[in-house]
Structure 1
Amino acid sequence: MRRLPMLTTTLAAAALLVLSGCSAAPAFTGTWSGTGENAPSLEISEDGAFAGTDGCNRMVGSGEVAEQSFEFGQFATTRKFCEGVDTWLSLAGSATVDGDTLTVLDADGAELGTLTRG
């Protein structure tokens, strides 16, 4: 009956793989960046804490994964005036991930912009 321990190990590994694939949080975690001068950037931790910049103002807060989106919740941000900087990230309400692209939406679900993983 040498097959039983090997079968048990294989089933346990398969279950772990399936269960780890169900966790949505890691899809959102990491560093996300825009392009160009004064580009926005955002870092999301596994516990939902996030910090970043809209290219001008710093922002910090805590959000949570809800189904297939990241809900930003309330966050603090500085309010400096930066001429010529599009501060769209400071209007974030939620975000979705598709591969290496984080699409940021406002509170009404309208797309504000995208950031790339890295």
Structure 2
Amino acid sequence: MPGGIGPVDPKCAKALCQAHREIKLPPTADERRIFYNLSMDRVHYVPDRDALYFVDSRHSGVQNILDAALRSMGVTAQITQLHIDNLGIFNGGKRIILPPDQARSVLVALRLQGIRISVSC
């Protein structure tokens, strides 16, 4: 892909998922700061906003897990694509608003699939 980095190689994705650092973001962290601390196998939940932030990757399938968990509760996922620039050209992470009862179930489903979860406290 001219001018781009192309898809992430599966070996590289596996190595990225093995390198973990502790994330402690305050509830006041803005969405750009949250995005820069996400990875393909980590989501971030902000209880004060009822918001779950994630990046979707074919290597982890976070969005598929979310869709399946919410579908089992009879809920359709309303996912918002976020951008890292003011013009909306460069995609960043994604956000879904989840009431606390849905969030608990979704976070358990993600964790059971090996997705790491950080929570703003």
TM-score (norm 2): 0.28
Between Structure 1 and Structure 2, which shows a larger proportion of strand residues? 1
Between Structure 1 and Structure 2, which shows a larger proportion of helix residues? 2
TM-score (norm 1): 0.28
Q: Rg bigger for which structure?
A: 1
